[in-house]
Amino acid sequence: MVDIKPVIEQAIADRDYTELLAIIPYARHLGMNCDQLGEELVFRLPNCGDNMGNPMLPALHGGVIAGFMEMSAMVQLMVALHTSRVPKIVDFSIDYLRAGYARETYAECKITRQGRRVANVSVSCWQTNRKQPISTARAHFLID
Protein backbone atom coordinates (compact mmCIF):
# COMPACT_ATOMS: atom_id res chain seq x y z
CA MET A 1 0.00 0.00 0.00
CA VAL A 2 1.11 3.53 -0.78
CA ASP A 3 1.54 5.92 2.15
CA ILE A 4 -0.54 9.00 1.34
CA LYS A 5 0.26 10.85 4.56
CA PRO A 6 2.88 13.12 2.90
CA VAL A 7 0.32 14.17 0.27
CA ILE A 8 -2.25 14.92 2.98
CA GLU A 9 0.27 16.86 5.09
CA GLN A 10 1.31 18.94 2.06
CA ALA A 11 -2.32 19.61 1.13
CA ILE A 12 -3.08 20.81 4.66
CA ALA A 13 0.03 22.99 4.78
CA ASP A 14 -0.70 24.58 1.38
CA ARG A 15 -4.49 24.66 1.87
CA ASP A 16 -4.62 23.19 -1.64
CA TYR A 17 -6.24 19.75 -2.03
CA THR A 18 -5.75 19.37 -5.79
CA GLU A 19 -2.98 16.75 -5.51
CA LEU A 20 -4.86 14.78 -2.88
CA LEU A 21 -8.00 14.59 -5.04
CA ALA A 22 -5.84 13.71 -8.06
CA ILE A 23 -4.60 10.47 -6.44
CA ILE A 24 -8.18 9.23 -5.86
CA PRO A 25 -9.33 7.88 -9.25
CA TYR A 26 -13.09 8.43 -8.84
CA ALA A 27 -12.64 11.94 -7.40
CA ARG A 28 -10.41 12.73 -10.37
CA HIS A 29 -12.98 11.25 -12.79
CA LEU A 30 -15.76 13.41 -11.33
CA GLY A 31 -13.56 16.51 -11.51
CA MET A 32 -13.99 17.23 -7.80
CA ASN A 33 -12.44 20.29 -6.20
CA CYS A 34 -12.00 21.27 -2.58
CA ASP A 35 -11.85 24.76 -1.06
CA GLN A 36 -10.92 25.57 2.51
CA LEU A 37 -13.04 28.30 4.08
CA GLY A 38 -11.51 28.99 7.48
CA GLU A 39 -11.21 25.55 9.05
CA GLU A 40 -14.05 24.09 6.97
CA LEU A 41 -13.61 22.10 3.77
CA VAL A 42 -16.21 22.64 1.05
CA PHE A 43 -16.19 20.18 -1.82
CA ARG A 44 -17.24 21.26 -5.30
CA LEU A 45 -18.52 19.20 -8.22
CA PRO A 46 -18.39 21.22 -11.44
CA ASN A 47 -21.25 21.21 -13.92
CA CYS A 48 -20.28 18.55 -16.47
CA GLY A 49 -22.33 16.87 -19.19
CA ASP A 50 -20.85 13.47 -18.34
CA ASN A 51 -22.50 13.63 -14.90
CA MET A 52 -26.05 14.00 -16.23
CA GLY A 53 -28.62 11.29 -15.60
CA ASN A 54 -31.76 12.89 -17.04
CA PRO A 55 -30.96 15.07 -20.04
CA MET A 56 -34.60 16.22 -20.26
CA LEU A 57 -34.44 18.27 -17.02
CA PRO A 58 -31.28 18.25 -17.16
CA ALA A 59 -30.44 16.64 -13.82
CA LEU A 60 -27.40 15.01 -12.24
CA HIS A 61 -27.30 11.23 -12.08
CA GLY A 62 -28.14 9.98 -8.57
CA GLY A 63 -25.03 7.79 -8.58
CA VAL A 64 -22.86 10.82 -9.34
CA ILE A 65 -24.37 12.69 -6.39
CA ALA A 66 -23.83 9.68 -4.10
CA GLY A 67 -20.26 9.14 -5.37
CA PHE A 68 -19.45 12.83 -4.90
CA MET A 69 -20.77 12.73 -1.35
CA GLU A 70 -18.91 9.50 -0.51
CA MET A 71 -15.62 10.86 -1.89
CA SER A 72 -16.16 14.11 0.04
CA ALA A 73 -16.68 12.20 3.30
CA MET A 74 -13.60 10.08 2.64
CA VAL A 75 -11.35 13.07 1.94
CA GLN A 76 -12.72 14.96 4.96
CA LEU A 77 -11.84 11.99 7.16
CA MET A 78 -8.39 11.59 5.61
CA VAL A 79 -7.59 15.26 6.23
CA ALA A 80 -9.02 15.36 9.76
CA LEU A 81 -7.19 12.20 10.86
CA HIS A 82 -3.99 12.73 8.82
CA THR A 83 -4.30 9.11 7.69
CA SER A 84 -1.60 7.14 5.94
CA ARG A 85 -4.15 5.06 4.01
CA VAL A 86 -7.53 5.60 2.41
CA PRO A 87 -10.33 4.66 4.87
CA LYS A 88 -12.52 1.73 3.84
CA ILE A 89 -16.24 2.36 3.44
CA VAL A 90 -18.42 0.16 5.66
CA ASP A 91 -21.84 1.65 5.02
CA PHE A 92 -23.29 4.57 3.07
CA SER A 93 -26.88 5.77 3.32
CA ILE A 94 -28.23 8.67 1.24
CA ASP A 95 -31.47 10.64 1.28
CA TYR A 96 -32.34 12.41 -1.98
CA LEU A 97 -34.34 15.51 -1.07
CA ARG A 98 -34.76 17.33 -4.40
CA ALA A 99 -33.47 17.20 -7.97
CA GLY A 100 -29.84 18.08 -8.56
CA TYR A 101 -29.86 20.19 -11.70
CA ALA A 102 -27.06 20.80 -14.21
CA ARG A 103 -25.11 23.32 -12.15
CA GLU A 104 -22.20 23.42 -9.76
CA THR A 105 -22.84 21.29 -6.66
CA TYR A 106 -21.29 21.57 -3.20
CA ALA A 107 -20.86 19.30 -0.18
CA GLU A 108 -19.78 19.75 3.41
CA CYS A 109 -18.97 16.99 5.87
CA LYS A 110 -18.95 16.63 9.63
CA ILE A 111 -17.30 13.81 11.52
CA THR A 112 -20.03 12.85 13.95
CA ARG A 113 -18.20 10.06 15.75
CA GLN A 114 -14.68 8.76 15.69
CA GLY A 115 -13.67 5.62 17.51
CA ARG A 116 -10.48 3.58 17.32
CA ARG A 117 -11.69 1.51 14.38
CA VAL A 118 -14.79 3.21 12.93
CA ALA A 119 -15.65 6.81 12.06
CA ASN A 120 -19.08 8.21 11.16
CA VAL A 121 -19.41 11.16 8.79
CA SER A 122 -22.53 13.14 7.88
CA VAL A 123 -22.66 14.90 4.52
CA SER A 124 -24.90 17.67 3.20
CA CYS A 125 -25.03 18.44 -0.53
CA TRP A 126 -26.54 21.60 -2.06
CA GLN A 127 -26.48 23.70 -5.21
CA THR A 128 -27.75 27.28 -4.90
CA ASN A 129 -28.62 27.51 -1.20
CA ARG A 130 -26.80 25.71 1.60
CA LYS A 131 -30.03 25.72 3.63
CA GLN A 132 -31.84 23.77 0.90
CA PRO A 133 -29.80 20.58 0.43
CA ILE A 134 -30.46 18.33 -2.55
CA SER A 135 -29.33 15.32 -0.51
CA THR A 136 -27.92 14.26 2.84
CA ALA A 137 -25.93 11.15 3.70
CA ARG A 138 -24.34 9.17 6.49
CA ALA A 139 -21.15 7.25 5.92
CA HIS A 140 -19.30 4.79 8.16
CA PHE A 141 -15.63 4.10 7.55
CA LEU A 142 -13.16 1.57 8.89
CA ILE A 143 -10.02 3.39 9.95
CA ASP A 144 -6.56 2.22 11.06
CA distance 100 to 115: 33
Pick the CATH number of 5-142 from 1.10.340.30, 3.30.420.10, 3.10.129.10, 3.40.50.1000: 3.10.129.10
pLDDT in tens, 39-72: 899 999 999 888 888 777 889 999 999 999 999 9
Could you report how far apart the first and last alpha carbons of the chain are, in Å?
A: 13
Show the CA angle centred on residue 41, arms to residues 115 and 105, nearest 5°.
115
116 contacts 142 by C-beta, under 8 angstroms: no
| pLDDT bucket at 2, cuts 50 / 70 / 90 | low
Rounded to two decimals, the pTM is: 0.93
CA distance 19 to 15: 11
- For 2-104, where are the E strands, in sequence order? 33-37, 40-45, 52-54, 59-60, 88-96
Residue 74: predicted pLDDT: 96
CA distance 105 to 65: 9
32-49 b/e with 16+ CB inside 10 Å = b?
A: bbbeeeeeebebebeeee
Residue 1: predicted pLDDT: 53
